Amino acid sequence: MTSYLIGLVGTGIGPSASPALHEREADELGLRYVYRLLDLEVLGRPVADVLAAARLAGFDGLNVTHPAKQAVLPHLDELSPEAAALGAVNTVVFRHGHATGHNTDATGFARSLGRGLPDAPMDDVLLLGAGGAGAAVAHALLSLGTGRLTVHDVDGRRSARLVQALTRRFGEGRARTGDLTALRRADGLVHATPTGMAAHPGSPVPVELLHGDLWVADIVYRPLETALLAAARARGCRVLHGGGMVVLQAAESFRLFTGAEPDPARMLRHFDALDGEAARAA
């Protein structure tokens, strides 16, 4: 039986669904698959040390999440074209001591949006968060045809860097920095920061800025119903939780790690079952 040792690197990753998602799909495909959590805060080590230790320990790959999707870049041997364009990595594949960074977040978000809000208007969208996840979402939105993307981050320099990268790839005029007032004219809002997670409760948007003509997508998936989505639903917005994105990016990561073809529909069913189990456990 072929075996794989995979890890997740990040902080506050205890509630992650990734281990069960990957291991259940491996069981379906007859693969021996062990998935470990490598929490930077628990280990007390920087991402460079954890990456080096995983390489030496014989890991076949790593998923990378907040806050390491950009911090991991200098410690890799190679980037896929997509990861290089996004400036962020969520998947590291080790082959013969060589570490290659990939990004499956952009395709995961795009497929989730197409599945959950297939007819959502895309002329004018506000993106909250310009970190690693935000960069992937921004590239996905512009690839899907968003006409005007406004990027807002608490770190204005990070917003500006992302807009510069988007302009280089997609041309002038399609991406700009801005603030929450852009919601007054926006068709959609995508939230790509940790706010709303169990460890970072709350909503990043005052409820009075939400309006019924707006669709709202959140990449947070634990909990599925974030404070932002609850407020948006109450204001009459169409909403999309982060479960689809986490599953669909995981399916592509699984394929990169193993070379085997996962079944995304089955993994979505796994996630639904896991979410129900988590709710019952709580």
Q: Active-site residue numbers?
A: 69
Q: Helices 156-170 and 132-143 meet at what angle, rounded to 10? A: 30
Cross-strand bridge partners of residue 36: 7
Please name the amino acid found at residue 155.
Answer: D
CA angle at 103 for the pair 99 and 105, rounded to the nearest 5°? 150
Q: How many CB atoms lie within 10 A of CB 177?
A: 18
**Measured on CA atoms in the order 66, 101, 266, 139, is the torsion positive or negative?**
positive
Q: Is 121 helix (H, G, I), strand (E, B) or coil?
A: coil
What is each CA distance from 197 to 218, 256, 259, in whole angstroms?
A: 11, 27, 32
Q: Would you say 113 and 191 are in contact if contact means Cβ atoms under 8 Å apart?
A: no
Please name the amino acid found at residue 193.
Answer: T
How many Å separate Cα 154 from the centre of its chain? 19
Q: What is the CA radius of gyration of the chain?
A: 18
Burial class, 259, CB count within 10 angstroms (exposed 0-12 / middle 13-18 / buried 19+): exposed
